[in-house]
Structure 1
Amino acid sequence: MRARPAFVALAVVLAGCGTVPTSSSPVEITQVADPPEDVGIEALPPVPGASREEIVRGFVDAMASTTRNHPVARQYLTGEAADSWSDTGAITVISSDYAPVAGDDDTVAVTAGLVGGVDAQGAFTTGSGQTYDQGFTLVQEDGEWRIADPRDGLVLLEPDFARTYDEVNAYFLDPTGTRVVPDPRFLVSGESQATALVDRLLTGPSAVLSAGVANPLTGAELRSNVRIAQQVATVDLTGLPADNADALNVLCAQLVWSLDQLDDVRAVRVRVDGAPVDVTGVPDVQTVDDWASFDPDAVPAVSVGHYVADGALRTVTAGEAAPGPAGTGQYALSAAAVTADARTNALGTTVGVSVAGGTATLLVGPYGGALAPVLPAGSFTDPTTAATRAEVWTVRDGSEVIRVPATGTPQTVSAPTLPEQGAARVFQLSPDGVRAAVVVDGPDGGELLVGTVVRSDDQVAVRDLRSVAPELSQVVDVAWRAASELVVLAGAQDEDGTAPYSVGVDGWDLTTLSRSGLPAQPTAVAAAPSRTPLVVAGGTLWQLVSGTWSTLVRGQEPLGGGAPFYPL
């Protein structure tokens, strides 16, 4: 699905200018996704007399080849099926312990754990704990068993998929036009990766993200494959509107941040209809340093870890009290969040939660100043902030998403599918404010969901809430380690208790983090890009340093407290 943003709004907030040539013709792009021959494994053809199970297993193994059109895999099919089977489009990723079982009716059933699926644009969707179950019909052809009804697309074992494909981010623009937003995609390793990545940018954001971001490249086309020489990628575009020069700034930032991830690219040269672009203050050969303000993981220098102890707001700097009455414990805070302004490097609005007599109260005020009550409830989730807007979010009574802008007037955010997912215990905005990670009550304890924040005129909504780590149960807390990575506290998979994990925003690459040094089970977590993750364990604060959890002040006793967070 393509986003179709109106760049008039972007032009208002963007500085600089560019000139765009007005006409040219696109050139056919060849081998957009063709991998080099040395990637993957050498597929083996069927052996004479192979059983039905062996034919199906051989077909699955041969689909892991990266040879164009999968000629060996087609040898496992009937002649008619080999001619009609399409190996392009979607990919189904299954567990490596799959089992083909022959039936009594010339069929073979394949059962495996469904790891996930990858659509034609490379976007991964987790399997949500489902089972992959597919039947193959086999017939005798020239005295040998062959598959007659393969489904289009590829079925890859998880190790083969991880070895053959790289996950990179296609970057789009947040609604403020001030930073790029990651949209993870899987691309075949090899020389054509740069062209394939730009092709994904031109096609647009993934379906779940499209309503939350803008795409400066909408309507553009490549005139030729992306060329790379001496680690400089040259991107030649056509089809850009002649009156859209202001969008050239964000377009260049989008291309440079996306291509910079590739191992063989260190800079980008952008051409439009064969002519160099003219962007004020930016050289012909551009790097991410020229577009540092669009950094997806930028965090203000003033963003120092905070937490709450004995009702008072404190910083992780030796447990110092935050300035003003919030730091004295006057408000008996149980949780808080603070906005930060990267332009002024100053902390802005403080939103705190105070609970007394069974009633929770949301308090708002300037950092270091007095806080005033603005909203009562039975409960509030710990407040959360994003780096792109001066506002704080929370969830009231488990289902009503509340947004508190700088004016301090709370507003309800539409989240139509949240109540049916379960009561929200945790709600955390991504650093760019385009996504929200939510922990809801599920049948096996807390469940982790990720949704997209959609802004249209004065309307704000949270949509497309989906499970991203179905393997995890009893999820306790979540935080954003980066714009595309989460830190999760959930039930330990190897023993009783709770353990920290990291996982991509799309659910890929679930990894267990160290518990070394923790005195007890972790109960709360805080994280931010380029900041040390914090957890609460046994009522004390700990930070992750070189794979080991240590006290906030090295060599000293742990500091007591809870509800840690980083201002954004």
Structure 2
Amino acid sequence: MRARVSVALLAGLVALTGCGTVPASSSPVQITQVAEPPGDIGIEALPPVAGASAEEVVRGFVDAMASTTRNHPVARQYLTREAAAGWDDTDGIDVISADYAPVASADGSVTVTAGLVGKVDGAGVFSVGGGQAFTTTFSLVEQDGELRITNPPDGLLQLEPDFARTYDQVNAFFLDPTGTRVVPDPRFLVSGDSQATALVDRLLAGPSTAVAAGVTNPAGGVELRSNVAVDQQVATVDLTGLPTGGADGLNVLCAQLVWSLDQLDDVRAVRVTVDGQLVDLPGVPDVQTVDDWASFDPDAVPAASVGHYVADGALRTVTAGEAAPGPAGTGQYGLVSAAVTADAGTNELGTTVAVSVAGGTSSLLVGPYGGELAPVLTAASFTAPTVSATREEVWTVRDGAEVIRVPTTGSPQTVSATTLPGLGPARVFRLSPDGVRAAVVVDGADGGQLLVGTVVRDDDQVAVRDLRAVAPDLSQVVDVAWRTAASLVVLAGAGDEDGTAPYAVGVDGWGLDPLSTAGLPAQPTAVAAAPSRAVLVVAGGTLWQLVAGTWSTLVRGQGPVAGGSPFYPL
């Protein structure tokens, strides 16, 4: 009979020090190749050629840093012996534009200038470059008759195409404060056989600084005993150092591991062991998949989440433009925007929060979906309300500066967002599906700017912190929506062209890509999105949905429906 670690045994590991079959703990085995695979992946590093000029040596060094061979032995051949011995190639990555220029100076040094795409730290966390220029100067001397670099900066310098070819972006998943969803924390890992081990290592090390204050990590303090083994698409994760406790902590840890590893191409299921013994959780098979932890799905959307919009002051659904039930669907409130909560358990829509405008005054209205709405606040303006799938509350920004949280069973509360007023008036505020992040569009010198911050909850205190630009290359941002828990759809200035176009971008700023505009009658002015739902935009005062890369009307074969302020209930 196979040895197992049961929930009861996990709760009492400390008391079992005398048991030969269930050790209380064991020393972790040294984990090798955590960050790098054993060989090159698609990029062959070429050694220096005899008689190379200073510029050629620097170019060769930059090219050789794209290799994934451990310790970068070929890249070190471009350095003096002293520099090669002291160079630390593990201290993060500067990702630069491919059109960099090495320019030699009269003193023999070479200055490299490029656009800074971003930086990747030692934990694989990407930070967008923010439009900065990258400049570094290499000093060279002659050694054994050849020019060699004396001062390589620690870390790697990689061209954007090389970085994209050799690194994969995956998520380490942590837990939202309600304990109901895993929250993505994007990381970049080298492609290859060691990726599963590297990902679990990042997970156990904890969340990135940007999101740490908004999530919990039940895996804290746990260690890997050995490398993660993958056989026939089943990853075996052997842990040690689990804290004592019951099934809840182990359940969440398994959910984190399974959701994280499921992203890898060669993993379809996970076997979790503790000190070499298989975990035994009630109702959970020995080999676990995301289906066993579906309740933690970071992108779950209730079936009742049908697109809504506002037309002529009335709340409507995208189903052939039908009016929403109750007085909100009649137009009597004069609505300009709205949001609706949804209950995944009952598959019913819950609370409606809407904004109406009359006589130059905006009112925030709250009430049950399909029922009467009552005013709870007034102001000169409110941003369109926003909801997450994890809490019964709605958020908005009053008069461009005051973030307001409205619990569906309580009174409105001001949320601390101390840095927001200094960044400019906020005209869009969107919670992520898990409620851990907020995307904000603020008015600045160059028009709308997109920021992403972290929602931090401490007892009864709620704050939005660490607001940071994630798409600095975009200007004139008009609107934003969450496509998934880790990605956004943005309406912004369309490069060198006039007007506005849709873009997709990761929550960390990586992967800024234009979306199609095929089929749109005019430039888009508002956007709505949700996981597993079609992206909606307003263009020319009518509603359009993105289907198979082309924008179409809400009902195929029928004309466009007039309306604005689209959204999905969550």
Alignment partners' CA distance in 2, 1:191 and 1:481: 30
The residue that corresponds to 1:34 in the other structure is 36
Alignment partners' CA distance in 2, 1:443 and 1:508: 24
The residue that corresponds to 1:250 in the other structure is 252
Shift in Å, 1:34: 2.2
Alignment partners' CA distance in 2, 1:423 and 1:343: 37
Of 258, 261, 264 in structure 2, the residue corresponding to residue 259 of structure 1 is 261
Task: Tell me the SS of whatever aligns to 1:402.
Answer: strand
Alignment partners' CA distance in 1, 2:209 and 2:90: 19
The residue that corresponds to 1:174 in the other structure is 176
Alignment partners' CA distance in 2, 1:268 and 1:520: 48
Of 424, 427, 430 in structure 2, the residue corresponding to residue 428 of structure 1 is 430
- Residue by residue, what CA displacement relative to the aligned partner does 1:519-545 show, whole Å, maximum 9, x if unpaired? 111000000000011000011001111
The residue that corresponds to 2:231 in the other structure is 229
The residue that corresponds to 1:548 in the other structure is 550
Alignment partners' CA distance in 1, 2:556 and 2:58: 58
Task: State whether residues 247 and 281 of structure 2, in contact with CA within 8 Å, keep that contact through their aligned partners in structure 1.
Answer: no
Query: Amino acid of the residue matched to residue 83 of structure 1?
Result: A
Task: Tell me the SS of whatever aligns to 2:209.
Answer: coil
Shift in CA distance, 564/27, structure 1 to aligned 2, threshold 3 Å: same
- Residue by residue, what CA displacement relative to the aligned partner does 1:174-201 show, whole Å, maximum 9, x if unpaired? 0011111000100000000000000000
The residue that corresponds to 2:104 in the other structure is 102
Of 439, 458, 472 in structure 2, the residue corresponding to residue 437 of structure 1 is 439
- Residue by residue, what CA displacement relative to the aligned partner does 1:141-178 show, whole Å, maximum 9, x if unpaired? 22221111111100000000000000001101100111
Task: State whether residues 315 and 335 of structure 2, in contact with CA within 8 Å, keep that contact through their aligned partners in structure 1.
Answer: yes
The residue that corresponds to 2:273 in the other structure is 271
Alignment partners' CA distance in 1, 2:392 and 2:521: 36
Query: Amino acid of the residue matched to residue 259 of structure 1?
Result: L
Alignment partners' CA distance in 1, 2:113 and 2:330: 60
Say yes or no: does 1:160 pair with 2:162: yes
Alignment partners' CA distance in 2, 1:17 and 1:461: 36
Query: Amino acid of the residue matched to residue 150 of structure 1?
Result: P
Q: Which residues in structure 2 correspond to 1:244-323 (within 5 Å)?
A: 245-323=247-325
The residue that corresponds to 1:149 in the other structure is 151
Query: Amino acid of the residue matched to residue 265 of structure 1?
Result: V
TM-score for both structures, normalised by structure 1: 0.96
Alignment partners' CA distance in 2, 1:160 and 1:30: 24
Shift in CA distance, 445/211, structure 1 to aligned 2, threshold 3 Å: same
Alignment partners' CA distance in 2, 1:500 and 1:559: 20
Alignment partners' CA distance in 2, 1:55 and 1:558: 60
Alignment partners' CA distance in 1, 2:525 and 2:378: 25
Gaps of 5+ in 1: 1-15
Say yes or no: does 1:452 pair with 2:454: yes
Alignment partners' CA distance in 1, 2:563 and 2:146: 70
The residue that corresponds to 2:511 in the other structure is 509
Shift in Å, 1:45: 1.2
Q: Which residues in structure 2 correspond to 1:10-25 (within 5 Å)?
A: 19-20=9-10, 21=13, 22-25=24-27
Number of residue pairs aligned between Structure 1 and Structure 2: 553
When the two chains are superposed, the root-mean-square deviation of aligned CA atoms in Å is: 1.1
The residue that corresponds to 1:63 in the other structure is 65
Alignment partners' CA distance in 1, 2:279 and 2:567: 42
Alignment partners' CA distance in 2, 1:491 and 1:132: 25
The residue that corresponds to 1:349 in the other structure is 351
Query: Amino acid of the residue matched to residue 142 of structure 1?
Result: D
Alignment partners' CA distance in 2, 1:132 and 1:19: 55
Shift in CA distance, 18/512, structure 1 to aligned 2, threshold 3 Å: farther
Say yes or no: does 1:397 pair with 2:399: yes
- Residue by residue, what CA displacement relative to the aligned partner does 1:410-450 show, whole Å, maximum 9, x if unpaired? 10001111111111110000000000011111221111111
The residue that corresponds to 2:360 in the other structure is 358
Alignment partners' CA distance in 2, 1:134 and 1:483: 36
Alignment partners' CA distance in 2, 1:279 and 1:289: 15
Query: Amino acid of the residue matched to residue 257 of structure 2?
Result: L
Shift in Å, 1:137: 1.2
Shift in Å, 1:408: 4.4
Q: Which residues in structure 2 correspond to 1:175-214 (within 5 Å)?
A: 175-214=177-216
Alignment partners' CA distance in 1, 2:244 and 2:25: 9
Tell me which moved more, 138-147 or 393-402. Answer: 138-147
Large movers: runs of 4+ above 4 Å: 16-19
- Residue by residue, what CA displacement relative to the aligned partner does 1:253-297 show, whole Å, maximum 9, x if unpaired? 000000001111110000111111121110111000000011000
- Residue by residue, what CA displacement relative to the aligned partner does 1:61-85 show, whole Å, maximum 9, x if unpaired? 1100111111111111111100000
- Residue by residue, what CA displacement relative to the aligned partner does 1:332-380 show, whole Å, maximum 9, x if unpaired? 0000000001011111111000112221111111111111111111111
Task: Tell me the SS of whatever aligns to 1:209.
Answer: helix
Alignment partners' CA distance in 2, 1:492 and 1:338: 31
Shift in Å, 1:303: 0.3
The residue that corresponds to 2:88 in the other structure is 86
Query: Amino acid of the residue matched to residue 549 of structure 1?
Result: W
Task: State whether residues 170 and 185 of structure 1, in contact with CA within 8 Å, keep that contact through their aligned partners in structure 2.
Answer: yes
Shift in Å, 1:242: 2.1
Alignment partners' CA distance in 2, 1:455 and 1:278: 33
Alignment partners' CA distance in 1, 2:419 and 2:54: 45
The residue that corresponds to 1:335 in the other structure is 337
Alignment partners' CA distance in 1, 2:462 and 2:561: 39
Of 498, 501, 519 in structure 2, the residue corresponding to residue 499 of structure 1 is 501
Shift in Å, 1:40: 3.4
Task: State whether residues 179 and 295 of structure 1, in contact with CA within 8 Å, keep that contact through their aligned partners in structure 2.
Answer: yes
Shift in CA distance, 40/394, structure 1 to aligned 2, threshold 3 Å: same
Task: Tell me the SS of whatever aligns to 2:204.
Answer: helix
Gaps of 5+ in 2: 1-5, 14-23
Query: Amino acid of the residue matched to residue 268 of structure 1?
Result: V
Shift in CA distance, 246/408, structure 1 to aligned 2, threshold 3 Å: closer
TM-score for both structures, normalised by structure 2: 0.96
Alignment partners' CA distance in 2, 1:223 and 1:132: 40
Shift in Å, 1:47: 1.4
Say yes or no: does 1:46 pair with 2:39: no
Alignment partners' CA distance in 2, 1:408 and 1:301: 27
Alignment partners' CA distance in 2, 1:468 and 1:406: 31
Task: Tell me the SS of whatever aligns to 2:321.
Answer: coil
Tell me which moved more, 209-218 or 41-50. Answer: 41-50
Task: Tell me the SS of whatever aligns to 2:213.
Answer: helix
Tell me which moved more, 485-494 or 256-265. Answer: 485-494
Alignment partners' CA distance in 2, 1:89 and 1:220: 24
Alignment partners' CA distance in 2, 1:413 and 1:104: 57
Query: Amino acid of the residue matched to residue 532 of structure 1?
Result: A
Alignment partners' CA distance in 1, 2:199 and 2:376: 47
Shift in CA distance, 524/276, structure 1 to aligned 2, threshold 3 Å: same
The residue that corresponds to 2:17 in the other structure is none
Query: Amino acid of the residue matched to residue 462 of structure 1?
Result: V
Alignment partners' CA distance in 2, 1:143 and 1:338: 73
Alignment partners' CA distance in 1, 2:434 and 2:369: 21
Alignment partners' CA distance in 2, 1:235 and 1:222: 7
The residue that corresponds to 2:120 in the other structure is 118
Query: Amino acid of the residue matched to residue 178 of structure 1?
Result: T
The residue that corresponds to 1:238 in the other structure is 240
Query: Amino acid of the residue matched to residue 325 of structure 1?
Result: P
Task: State whether residues 178 and 390 of structure 2, in contact with CA within 8 Å, keep that contact through their aligned partners in structure 1.
Answer: yes
